[in-house]
Structure 1
Amino acid sequence: MTHAPLSQVKRGKVYGIGLGPGDPELMTLKAARLIREASVIAYPTLAGGASFARSIAAEFIAQGTREIVMDVPMTVARGPAQHAYDQGAARIAEALEAGQDVVVLCEGDPFFYGSFMYLFARLRSDFQVEIVPGVTSVTACAAVAQLPLVARNEVMTVLPAPLEDASLRDKIAGSDTVIVMKLGRHFKRVRALIDTAGLTEKSVYIERATGANEVVKPLKDAPETAPYFSMILIVKGADPWL
C-alpha cells in the first residue's frame, strides 16, 4: 500500500478556543465539543508553571491527546515572549502540515487580550483558522459583582493597569464605566488614582471571577495586593433608570 506524499496531505485546521473566565460550565458547547474531539491541543504556560487555560478545559481533554505546551515568559521585554510564540507556532504548523487539526486553548476570549492572537498572526496566512469566542473576564466580573455595565448611550472603557498615571486619569474621567485590568503589581498605584478621583465608593474589586478562589469586594475593602487575574469595575451610574 502506498501513501500520499506529505505535500499532498490535506492540511489541518487551527481552532482558537475561548474558554471563558475560569468556570468550566461557562465554556460554550462548541468549545467543549472541539476539545473533546481534538487529537492535538496547544496552550501557554507562564514560567514553566501550570496552565490556567488547561485547568479550565481539563475535564474535556481525552486521554492520549497530544499536548503542545508553550512556555511564555512573563516579562516587560517583548523579545522572550515573541520567541516563545514563534516556537509554538512552528510546532503547531508541523501538526497542521501533517493533516492534524489543532485546538489552541485560551482563557477568556481569544481576541480580547488573548494569547491566541499572537499565534493567529503567525499562522493565518498559511492555514485555515476558526475562532470560537468565549465569555470575557469583563462580563464575568460584572455578573459576579451584579453590576450592570452600561445602558442606553453610556460609554465603557477598558484600561490595562500598566498605563501611565496621566493616561489612566484622563480615561477614567472620560467614561461612564471603567474596567481596569491586569492589576498585579500596579494595584496600589491604580487604587490611589481612583481614590484621588473620588470614585472609590463607586468601585468594586474582583479577582479570579467564577473560580474557586473568587473574591468580590467594594474597593475600599479590597486586600492590599492583587494578582494578575483581577480587575476593578468603576460604575458611575449616570443613567437615571438604574
Structure 2
Amino acid sequence: MKSNSFQVKKGHFYAVGVGPGSSDLLTLRAVEVIRGSQVIICPRSAASRNSLALEIISGFILDQEVIEHVYPMSRNQEEVMDSWNQAAMLISSLCRQGKSVSQVTLGDPHVYSTCGYVLPRLEENLGLDRIHVIPGVTAFQASAANFAQSLVIQEDRLTLMPATDMEEVEKALDCCETLVLYKIGKNLTALCKLLQTKGLENKARMVLNAEMPGKEKVYPDMDRTLEREPGYLACVIVHVGHRSWKNTD
C-alpha cells in the first residue's frame, strides 16, 4: 500500500504536470515534488518572454535551483530534437550527481507536453526506476469544466488531436462522438467552415487560455469566433453525438 506522503528521492527525475494555468489545480503530489526537488527545470519557448509553467509554480518554490530551458517553437525536427537532447543530457548529469530533479510542464506530462521529448531519452540514460511521472489536469478537462455536458458517456469515443490538418479533422469527426482539438492557431476559420459543412457549428465550443488568471475566454458558440485569432493555447470541443449501446445478448 502506498503511503500518504510521496517521497522525493535524490538522483531521481520527476516529470510534473502543473495543470493548464491556475496554481490551485496542482495536485498535492505535484506540490510535494516541487518543494522537495533540488533542481527544477522550467521549459520556455523561444517565442515567449516568460515560462508559463514557472509562473504557475512560483508560489511553491523555496530555495531550489531553477533552470529555464529555452526551446525552439519550430517545425524543424532536427532543431527541436537537438534542444531536447541537450535538456535530457543536463537532467541526466544532475541526477548522476545525486540531485533530485523535476521538470514542470503545462497540463499532463503524457499529453502534448515538453516532458514527452525528454522521457524516452532519460529512460535510456537513467532507467525506469529513477523516473517518475506526476499526472496533471489537462487543458481539455479544464475547458470542458466550463460546460454542463460530459465529454463521453456509455460507449462514446473520445478523440484528442491537433487541428493542424483539416482533412484529418474531418475524418475524425466521422469516427468519434466527441472530438477535442488543440493547436488551432491560424486554422480557426477553416475549422469553423468545416463544422458548418458538417452541421456541427452549434455543437462546438471553444476555450482560450483555460484556467489562466485574467486570460481565459469561453466561447459556447463557435459562430462568434470566426473573426478571432485564438492563438496557440486554444481548445475546441465538438460534441458530435452519442453512440447507442450495442445489444450483446
In the superposition, the TM-score normalised over structure 2's length comes to: 0.87
Structure 2: how far apart are the matches of 1:193 and 1:236?
13
2:28 equivalent to 1:26: no
Q: CA deviation at 1:238?
A: 2.7
2:52 aligned residue: 52
Percent identity, aligned pairs only? 27
2:222 equivalent to 1:219: yes
Structure 2: how far apart are the matches of 1:93 and 1:67?
16
Q: Please list every run of 5 or more consecutive structure 1 residues that lacks an aligned counterpart in the other structure.
A: 1-9
1:151 aligned residue: 153
User: What are the Cα deviations for residues 190-222 of structure 1, in whole angstroms up to 9, with x where unaligned?
Assistant: 222112111101110111111121111111122
Contact 2:16 2:30 survives alignment (8 Å): yes
| 3-state secondary structure, aligned to 2:229 | coil
2:135 aligned residue: 133
Q: CA deviation at 1:170?
A: 1.3
1:142 aligned residue: 144
Contact 1:144 1:210 survives alignment (8 Å): no
| Letter in structure 2 aligned against 1:51 | S
2:116 equivalent to 1:117: yes
CA RMSD across the alignment? 1.7
2:175 equivalent to 1:188: no
Instruction: State how many pairs are aligned.
Output: 229
| Letter in structure 2 aligned against 1:159 | M
Q: CA deviation at 1:103?
A: 0.8
Runs (4+) of structure 1 exceeding 6 A deviation are none
Contact 2:201 2:222 survives alignment (8 Å): yes
| 3-state secondary structure, aligned to 1:103 | strand
Q: Please list every run of 5 or more consecutive structure 2 residues that lacks an aligned counterpart in the other structure.
A: 1-8, 245-249
Contact 1:194 1:200 survives alignment (8 Å): yes
User: What are the Cα deviations for residues 147-199 of structure 1, in whole angstroms up to 9, with x where unaligned?
Assistant: 31110011111121112x22211111221111111111222222221121111
Contact 1:158 1:179 survives alignment (8 Å): yes
| Letter in structure 2 aligned against 1:20 | G
Cα–Cα, structure 1 residues 129 and 25, in superposed 2: closer, same or farther, change >3 Å? same
